[in-house]
Chains A and B, each alone.
Chain A
Amino acid sequence: MTPQELVVRMLPPFGGWLALAALALPGGSPLRGAAVAVFLAAGPGVALVGLCAPALRVRPAQGPVDGRDPGFARRSDLLERLMLIVFVSVGAVMIVATVLFATHAFTAQRVLLALTVLTTLAAFCPRLRASPPTPGKPRTGKGSAL
């Protein structure tokens, strides 16, 4: 892992701990709002999608039948990753907050702390990779000429 990759990987947990630190600022302050909102909207998603990205990429994506632009699929993959980052983050916030309410343990600080710990763990985990295709077993779709 290059130093640059390490910095990128550590950004989401850093954002979480920064958001926790920002709670010391007065309520309604723009800095506190920005730190919290940015982390909740993207932090857990960046860490979790980053953790799974190599394994997710191996499954081919469907594209337009008459695709001619080689960069089109790449940009679609990027958009998909961005979408997953946002939706995984939103999902994580909603699920963690609900679990804490259901267990009578809700405080907003606990929600943020739980998400930050989750993000930190995901950032430190080795990237998940899909198993290589089974040798000697050709994949032929139904109706294939082979």
Chain B
Amino acid sequence: MTDEIRFEHISMEFPGVLANDDISLSIRNGEVFALVGENGAGKSTLMNILYGINTPTAGELYVRGEKVTNFSPKAAIDRGIGMVHQHFMLVPSFTVAQNIVLGREPKNAGVLFDNRKAEKLTRELVEEYGLEVDPSAEVRDISVGLQQRVEILKTLYRGADILILDEPTAVLTPQETDELFEVIRRIVREKQMTVIIITHKLYEVMAISDRVGVMRQGRLIGVENTCDVDERKLASMMVGRPVLFDHLEKTGTPGEVAIKVDDLYVADNRGLPAVRGVSLEVRRGEVLGIAAIEGNGQSELLEAITGLRKINRGKVSVCGKDAANKTPGEIRALGLSHVPEDRLSTGVDKAASVADNLLIGRQKEKRFNLFGFHQRRSTVERYASELYQKFDIRGAGIRTEVGSMSGGNMQKVVVAREFTFDTPVLVISQPTRGVDIGAMEFFHTRIIEKRNEGAAILLSSADLDEVFRLSDRIITLYEGKITGEFRADEITKEEIGLYMTGTGEGAKA
């Protein structure tokens, strides 16, 4: 085997973030190389350099021994590199065939686009690689799994022999994942392709890769032969220390029911059913965790409960009062606070100051108003400064724009605001996404404090360890349905994993 790709001392800095820090790495011809690391570890940035989307700030890149000087996707395509991005790069209104040939269209008489030939070429590829998909279907009408196939076919059409897959399984069902892995094995075996797969799911690394590189905070921590390591070893490399947090002291016994959801149906953005008949209860003084792979209805469920999304059928009550299809403001008035999944789009006003972001929700309180309308800026700033210190927000003070802060500090602003409402119900989604380990511990402690004080907490997180650590009870969601409910201390992560993929006991029977 020879070196297909060589990174030499590659660094990439974005404004304020060193995304890649002095990375040297070789990837061999004909191997499946897995690149693992937490969110924000710099995996995608490194691969975007390989694909020419990013030009590295420093360092060199060699492809088949040749130094890369021209960083552009076009040049990368010409070098035989194909990339399937995490967010698919497809034109929704174009057909499958039109998407595949985009940029290298077959032509009729040298001028007109030859749709028939495009579909014929697509069909040939479909047959050659066994990736079944209808060439004439519009991309917006086909499932996510099929869209991913279109992405792969696209790179193959362009003659790629190096294939980069950026978190390809995040949106796939287990069956689709199995099929994808089958395809990867086939193209490596039969076509001698080199495949780089970015992931943070360790069992996938074990299942598919020959070698694995671990990244953490922009650095490459190590490269191993997959057969020489196990998941535990990789996990400790990823987080930089053995995954072992201090024990969180949980006290008290659950009280009355504060969130009650009954036979709930909710649609996703495309109008497809995302939540299908979910019923659950959360009591005061307990944390109910939702374990699910992204895209199985957990986001829609929480949005429906908090009033951000329309409920098609079913009941929701908060603190004993009907909360179905009310506005977020009305539901908050019932006694609910919400740390939303996407803090940038929902949790903050990026253009506003820290103080303004901390104030919202309380702006009508008497102490902040003179004569009921004049905003008392000094009182607002004093209040904001208190929270700023209490929640250990670090930045250039309460007058800085929130948009210029790091993810962790931005999240602290959100948590500071929402937790200070002291409501009996807390809905928390992805509390530590993109947050460093130190801050993570901070958020966990705060959440358990709230629990011990008697709040009913509904928690959703993509981080299974987090769900385990914080929850008293765990439910698993799969394709919008609850597939299991457990006490957190009576089940293992491995078992939960089965239920999350719809292959648990219930599904098997």
A binds B: no
